[in-house]
Amino acid sequence: MDAAVLHEHLTIDSESDESVYQQIAGQIEALISGSELASGDRLPAIRTLATRLGLHRDTIALAYERLATEGWAEARVGAGTFVRPSGRRAGSVVASSYPPSGGSERASEVELALAPQVEQLITLDNTRPRYATGDDVVAFHRLIPDPRFYPVEEFRECIDAAIREEGPELFSYASPEGDPRLRRAMAERFRAEGIDRSADELVLCHGASQGISLALRLFAEPGDQIAVEVPTYANVLSAFAGLGLSPAVVSMDDEGADPEALDRVLAKPEVKAFYTIPSFHNPLGTSMSIERRHQVLEIAKRHGVPVIEDAFELDLRFQGDELPPLAALDESDLVVLLFSFSKSLFPGVRVGSLSAHGRALEGLVALKHATDLSDALLLQAGLARFVESGAYDRHLVRMRRLLRSRHAIMNEMLELEMPKGTTWTRPDGGYQLWVELPFEVDTRDLLADAARGGVLFSPGASFMPDGRPSRGMRLTVACVDEDEIRRGVAALGEVIRSRQAVNGRAGQRAGMHL
């Protein structure tokens, strides 16, 4: 089939429970599976296909993003979206557009879907574990709340109450902006953080992933660049690949994004926005200083570049002074704030929000309408009651106490087990911290040995836009109790010291031959 006439093979069912973009992605996937679209075929340009189907281009962009995320297609910056070769569909998702040509062979396909990369080390091969079973592995790589502490019963009661009070209405279509009652509850919480956003200025979305995609499409088109800190959240890099965007890297120091680097990057006309995680940075765990927050906003204002603030762990501060989000300091309507309940409550609730002022808000509402027929109203209605009742705040008290204890044990064990010269961050909130080793090593090369020892982590290269080797690693305390932290850090320390000794001996032998 000629990909240029793809639109003739696509149909939209307005009565379907699937959103329009999901219908399109599913039908294209079926055409690829059936070999009607061949490996290497170029899919129609987003704007072209949107025009022929009578849809908003962002609906097509989201469909292409899903195809890329699931391994059926790949975005090549400046070239378009192509059917991925069949031999590269299995396994983890890669983005072939990074790094620029000429990079090392290993870095030519950067693995951006971090969880599959690490989880493959604990999958079962027939009846025998490859390295470690899922039950005995210490999961320092996982960044989801600990299921042992999900407030299931309290949440169920809120769902039941919503059904009793609203009945069949909860099982129908609703406004794409989301449940008004939940938006009011969230706006009230934001005001407590100093964020001046009304309920009408919030657009609910299906977790942080959809929120990131909506925000990126609000400001950029294929071929554009988005400024990002280095290192940065792996899944935002995957979103870039799916949307045909590329990263413009901004170095960091102890206070956050480096002002001089940010100033240079935002001066470039091809850079359309700055994506940042100022509080409890992923993967570093650090928080941008108040002085640096003001500097970032001043630089963005000077260049007229919007800021996408990812506040995915906003509610998880367990110590230290409160720092206002960028959205609370923004006087120029530059900041689009992304929030999610996935890390503070549980990921299955699939509720996040985007909030903005002025034209940015109008654009977000239009994008959401173009993307979804409706949100999951039942979950949102239950969550609204969960927040209003105080159950969410009670849950946060437990989680903050838990995080404070786990981070303290993590610091204690790193002091005991890491080789001299190792450094690590000491977050005031969130789940993750960053460990930097004192010798040259690509931490990807430590993964297999660590898994054999019963511990997993996230290698630093996964958070680099160009996939460069990194001596860093991200550890999380999300799904590990205190005993597991002790056992896991001890095992990890042994692996690291062994590799350091091997490197040291290799260095000595090289010196003898000089």
What is the pLDDT averaged over residues 442-457? Answer: 94
Query: Does position 507 have pLDDT exceeding 90, yes or no?
Result: no
Confidence at 288, pLDDT banded by 50, 70, 90 = very high
* Dihedral over Cα of 443, 444, 450, 455: its sign: positive
Query: Does position 359 have pLDDT exceeding 90, yes or no?
Result: no
What is the pLDDT averaged over residues 107-117? Answer: 35
Residue 455 tokens, joined = 């511990």
Q: What is the pLDDT of residue 61?
A: 79
CATH number at residue 15: 1.10.10.10
Higher pLDDT, 147 or 504: 147
* Cα 371 to Cα 210: distance, rounded to the nearest angstrom: 10
Within-domain flag for 19: yes
Domain boundary among 322, 357, 389: 389
Whose CA is closest to 206, among 168, 177, 174, 244? 177
Domain boundary among 369, 389, 409: 389
Q: Which domain holds residue 15?
A: 3-90
- Vertex 444 angle, CA 443 and 447, to 5°: 95
Residues in the chain: 514
* Cα 410 to Cα 138: distance, rounded to the nearest angstrom: 13
CATH number at residue 299: 3.40.640.10
Within-domain flag for 108: no
* Dihedral over Cα of 221, 223, 228, 234: its sign: positive
Within-domain flag for 221: yes
- Is the domain of 125 the same as that of 254? no
Within-domain flag for 185: yes
Bridge partners (DSSP) listed for residue 340 = 352
What is the pLDDT averaged over residues 265-286? Answer: 97
Within-domain flag for 109: no
Q: What is the DSSP string of 489-503?
A: HHHHHHHHHHHHHHH
pTM of the model: 0.76
- Is the domain of 195 the same as that of 125? no
pLDDT by residue (tens digit) across 321-350? 999 999 999 999 999 999 999 999 998 888
- Is the domain of 222 the same as that of 342? yes
* Cα 446 to Cα 256: distance, rounded to the nearest angstrom: 28
Q: What is the pLDDT of residue 107?
A: 27
Q: Which residues contact 325 (CB under 8 A, 6 or more apart)?
A: 193, 194, 195, 278, 279, 309, 311, 314, 337
- Is the domain of 338 the same as that of 399? no
- Is the domain of 499 the same as that of 350? no
Higher pLDDT, 261 or 510: 261
Strands 423-424 and 432-436: antiparallel
- Is the domain of 19 the same as that of 81? yes
- Is the domain of 80 the same as that of 209? no
Residue 416 tokens, joined = 């005991």
- Is the domain of 234 the same as that of 367? yes
- Lowest-confidence region among 59-63, 209-213, 307-311: 59-63
- Lowest-confidence region among 69-78, 287-296, 401-410: 69-78
pLDDT by residue (tens digit) across 52-100? 888 877 688 778 877 887 788 887 655 678 888 763 343 333 333 323 3
* Cα 95 to Cα 43: distance, rounded to the nearest angstrom: 17
Q: What is the pLDDT of residue 142?
A: 93
* Tally of domains in the chain: 3
Q: How far is CA 167 from the centre of its chain?
A: 35
Query: Does position 191 have pLDDT exceeding 70, yes or no?
Result: yes
- Is the domain of 321 the same as that of 422? no
Domain boundary among 338, 365, 389: 389
Query: Does position 45 have pLDDT exceeding 60, yes or no?
Result: yes
Whose CA is closest to 13, among 29, 28, 27? 27
pLDDT by residue (tens digit) across 172-184? 877 888 999 999 9
What is the pLDDT averaged over residues 367-378? Answer: 80
* Dihedral over Cα of 253, 256, 257, 258: its sign: negative
* Cα 128 to Cα 186: distance, rounded to the nearest angstrom: 47
DSSP-derived 3-state class of residue 488: helix
Within-domain flag for 355: yes
- Is the domain of 232 the same as that of 289? yes
Within-domain flag for 102: no
Within-domain flag for 97: no
Using alpha carbons, list the distances in angstroms from residue 344 to 194, 283, 311, 339.
20, 17, 11, 10
**What is the residue-averaged pLDDT of the chain?**
85
Higher pLDDT, 262 or 132: 262
Confidence at 135, pLDDT banded by 50, 70, 90 = low
- Is the domain of 408 the same as that of 454? yes
Bridge partners (DSSP) listed for residue 202 = 355
CATH number at residue 496: 3.90.1150.10
- Is the domain of 347 the same as that of 475? no
Query: Does position 279 have pLDDT exceeding 70, yes or no?
Result: yes
Q: What is the pLDDT of residue 78?
A: 55
* Dihedral over Cα of 24, 26, 32, 34: its sign: negative
Q: What is the pLDDT of residue 53?
A: 87
Query: Does position 23 have pLDDT exceeding 80, yes or no?
Result: yes
- Lowest-confidence region among 107-121, 347-361, 380-394, 431-445: 107-121
Query: Does position 248 have pLDDT exceeding 90, yes or no?
Result: yes
Q: What is the pLDDT of residue 101?
A: 30
* Cα 94 to Cα 237: distance, rounded to the nearest angstrom: 10
Q: 330, exposed or middle or buried, with CB in 10 Å at 0-12, 13-18, 19+? A: buried
